[in-house]
Structure 1
Amino acid sequence: MANESVTCKPQTRRDCVKYGGAIVGGSLLAGCTGDGDGDEERTAATESSSTDPYTVSMEPVGDVTFDRVPERWVAYDGGYADMAVALGQADGLAGTGMADRYYTHVYDELAGVDVDRSVLEAYPDVHTKEEFYELDCDVHLYDPQMLINWFEWSDDDVEEIVDNVAPFVGNLIFRRSDEWHDYRYYTLYEAFETVADVFQETARYDAFAELHDEFIADVRAQLPSEEARPDVFVTYDETDQPDSFSPYRLDDGGTSTKQWRDLGPTDALADTDIDHLSTTDRGNLDYEGLLDLDPEIILVRGHERKSAAEFRDTVLAYMESHPVGNELEAVRNGRVYRGGYLYQGPIHNLFLTERAAKQLYPDVFGDVTDDAELFDRQRVADIVNGEF
């Protein structure tokens, strides 16, 4: 479909008409954004907005050209929402998909960093065309192929929203096991850099990347030898009385297991033919199957609203009372922990890596329930707030 130029009225951003191009591999042009007022004064660390068009590229949509820096945005998952917040864009949040899996409590430890939960409560699971029209955002941080494969959208539906509302920029990166995802994947920081390009906030991105690299290098320098590291099993089960276990492979490459790969434990599934959880493979293990693996550590996802103590009093307590579960080494030794977020952005990743280091190597980094901090919270807050 050919792009059509439009003339934007100067009064408000809402008077601007969005326009777009091909969905995959083509050029998606976003229409005017911004409210027509002069640029606000910004800190020296933050790049100023420009009225000159600029282009961002990300599979599966290809090139996306913006006339102005987006102000109002919606993200499907907490990982992309966290990226935008890290880039100082929290005020532009209009809603998310899967708000129940967007964990904003981590921002409580960062001075001056906050997300309006009422926005998430008003639009907690944005995935219909009607919602996209109603929100009228400047950019949608979504992989459109996810909408097609999870929510039965068509290519025409995607193109309609691009034409009439705003473009999509996003790539489903939390796992790499879906057959329909036959295009490039991105690492967490590759995707984060692209989102930084969308918001023209590369200085903040660079500061985060430097902090992240220093933090990971420092933690890795303290790890025990490979042969002294534990083997772990990552699973998903959000019930307090788990009786089946959906497996995740650490070598999947998705962002949801980044902290484990960075910390180098052995994957309990490494020498098995057990597949990673995906859209088409919902296989799981029972306790007997898990006992065959008998990992040293079990990491159970789906319990991030619980504290460490609440998790132990419910999930671990149930496994200890189970006639087969209590035979597992991890259960006998009390090494069953919360397994981290499915969707994590750069801020989430810092907190999750710190927690994972304590779960895996308490003799080195301290117990998971202690208050020891492995990265500088104030430095993170300063980057988000543009004071760096």
Structure 2
Amino acid sequence: MSDNDDTTTAVPTRRDTPTRRDALKYGGALAAGTALAGCSDLVGQSEETDRPSDDGSYSVTMAPMGEVSFDSPPESIFTRLTHHAGMAFALGRGNDVNAMHAPDYYDQLWNQFTERLPGVTLDWSELYSSWDPDKGMLYELESDIHLADPASVNALGSWDMTDIEEVRDTVSPWFGNTFSDRHGEPPAEWADRYEYYTLWELFEKVAAVFREESRYDALATIHTDLLETIEENLPPERERPTAVLAGMSDIESMYVYKLDTPGFLTAHVRPLSPIGALEDDISSGDTIDMEGMLEADPDVLFALGGMSPQTDMLRIREELGNHDVGRELSAVQTDRVYAQGARYQGPILNLFQLEMSAKQLYPDIFGEWPAYTDGPYPEISADEQLFDRREVADIITGDR
């Protein structure tokens, strides 16, 4: 850790000088009215979870699995995608994860953020890479839970329903939901039992599995406060920038994603309500060339994965500036090409990415985003932070 090594120093719960979030909170509250009534990302954070039985066993219900029973909180945790691994991490169980997609990549990316959480450590390096998991490996891992969506595993084509049920019955339950990412269609076998959840609704269910409801409640309160701060201070629509979210490893063929797509992949930008720059004939996941990007000509260009140590943001900006068409982009001319983190974000990355996106889109309101090129999430002075890092860290480590 570079700036948070001292985990024993007491931090006062109330600062002598107001922070930016204090000023935003009290200023925006005067004009907020009932603006939050339609904010879907706040919905469902107080829903009731299943009750334990007399013998100490308990169950949690979530689509597409239905009711899943547990004798005790799981210890070893299999995951595929990082929104589930990030939930385990938020509950202080990140180092109990034994498998995930691209573990070395996501270990490096997640640790760009843990650098700013005092006392929090995470090591996902060299785990089993589980994008298309081998059934025999699941027997070898003997996980207490498969924190993964069985419908999404079934959709891989290498697993049939018999395989899914066998692992459920002889190793441990499946518990996950992935098609809520952008409300995609699950395989036909699962369609009649599927439901879509927000990121934080999913997190609430996962927290109930691990009997960590109090940790969830504490983090959900921080999330709700952050969303309220954002919602109360958003400028009128006519003053909001246009934006595009793009994968830019190859600027001649860029994957693009619409900002208003439902699902948790856009849970860090949708609450900020920027104006989508892409035309209606372009769908999330499509590729466009530089001429297509100029046709959209966003005020802000978000570079997916730009926070990864493997991504060279300086090179991306230079390539855009040196490109015959790219140099004409408004975002390039005004130096508003920004790094983003991960779309399959867990709750902690969601907090950081809400803050960074707010600063990138509305610096006059939420404070300037530092001129980031590489390294961990930038240091932001305490009075400019939109949520308290130590408070989050203490919830993860159990010190609160």
TM-score, with length taken from structure 2: 0.77
Offset of residue 294 of structure 1: 1.0
Structure 2 counterparts to residues 243-258 of structure 1, below 5 A: 243-258=252-267
Structure 2 counterparts to residues 209-288 of structure 1, below 5 A: 209-237=220-248, 239=249, 241-269=250-278, 271-277=279-285, 283-288=286-291
* d(CA) in 2 for partners of 1:111, 1:347: 14
1:320 aligns with 2:293: no
1:155 aligns with 2:161: yes
Which position in structure 2 is the counterpart of 1:66? 70
1:378 aligns with 2:379: no
Letter aligned with residue 257 of structure 1: T
Deviations 1:72-91 (A, max 9, x none): 11221221111112112234
* d(CA) in 1 for partners of 2:246, 2:77: 32
Letter aligned with residue 318 of structure 1: E
Structure 2 counterparts to residues 79-228 of structure 1, below 5 A: 79-99=83-103, 100-101=105-106, 103-105=109-111, 106-117=113-124, 120-125=125-130, 127-173=133-179, 175-176=181-182, 178-180=184-186, 182=191, 183-228=194-239
Counterparts in 2 of 1:121 and 1:179: CA distance versus 1, 3 Å: same
Match 1:300 to one of 293, 298, 303 = 303
Offset of residue 98 of structure 1: 3.0
* d(CA) in 2 for partners of 1:61, 1:92: 22
Deviations 1:233-292 (A, max 9, x none): 11223x2x41112221222222121111111111113x5221122xxxxx3111111211
Letter aligned with residue 221 of structure 1: E
Secondary structure at the counterpart of residue 299 of structure 1: strand
Q: Is the 8 A contact 2:231 2:272 kept in 1?
A: yes
Q: Is the 8 A contact 1:53 1:68 kept in 2?
A: yes
Offset of residue 325 of structure 1: 1.1
Deviations 1:10-30 (A, max 9, x none): xxxxxxxxxxxxxxxxxxxxx
Q: Is the 8 A contact 1:296 1:335 kept in 2?
A: yes
Q: Is the 8 A contact 1:76 1:96 kept in 2?
A: yes
* d(CA) in 1 for partners of 2:300, 2:310: 18
* d(CA) in 1 for partners of 2:55, 2:251: 54
* d(CA) in 2 for partners of 1:295, 1:187: 27
Letter aligned with residue 247 of structure 2: Y
TM-score, with length taken from structure 1: 0.79
How many percent of aligned residue pairs carry the same amino acid?
Answer: 38
Deviations 1:287-343 (A, max 9, x none): 1112111111111213331499x41x2111101111111111111111111233121
* d(CA) in 1 for partners of 2:167, 2:200: 27
Q: Is the 8 A contact 1:101 1:343 kept in 2?
A: no
Counterparts in 2 of 1:49 and 1:86: CA distance versus 1, 3 Å: farther
Q: Is the 8 A contact 1:50 1:68 kept in 2?
A: no
Counterparts in 2 of 1:333 and 1:306: CA distance versus 1, 3 Å: farther
Q: Is the 8 A contact 1:49 1:200 kept in 2?
A: no
Letter aligned with residue 84 of structure 1: A
1:52 aligns with 2:53: no
Offset of residue 51 of structure 1: 5.7
Letter aligned with residue 76 of structure 1: R
* d(CA) in 1 for partners of 2:79, 2:148: 6
* d(CA) in 2 for partners of 1:334, 1:349: 24
Counterparts in 2 of 1:324 and 1:104: CA distance versus 1, 3 Å: same
Stretches (4+) displaced over 4 A: 48-51
More deviation, 154-163/126-135? 126-135
Secondary structure at the counterpart of residue 159 of structure 2: coil
Deviations 1:197-238 (A, max 9, x none): 11011111111111111122123323222211101111223x
Structure 1, unmatched stretches of 5+, are 1-47, 278-282
* d(CA) in 2 for partners of 1:329, 1:209: 37
Counterparts in 2 of 1:50 and 1:356: CA distance versus 1, 3 Å: farther
* d(CA) in 2 for partners of 1:124, 1:364: 41
Counterparts in 2 of 1:236 and 1:174: CA distance versus 1, 3 Å: farther
* d(CA) in 2 for partners of 1:383, 1:287: 44
Structure 2 counterparts to residues 14-53 of structure 1, below 5 A: 52-53=56-57
- Higher relative contact order at CA 8 Å, sep ≥6: structure 1 or structure 2? 2
Which position in structure 2 is the counterpart of 1:345? 346
1:289 aligns with 2:292: yes
Size of the aligned set, in residue pairs, is 329
* d(CA) in 2 for partners of 1:162, 1:379: 37
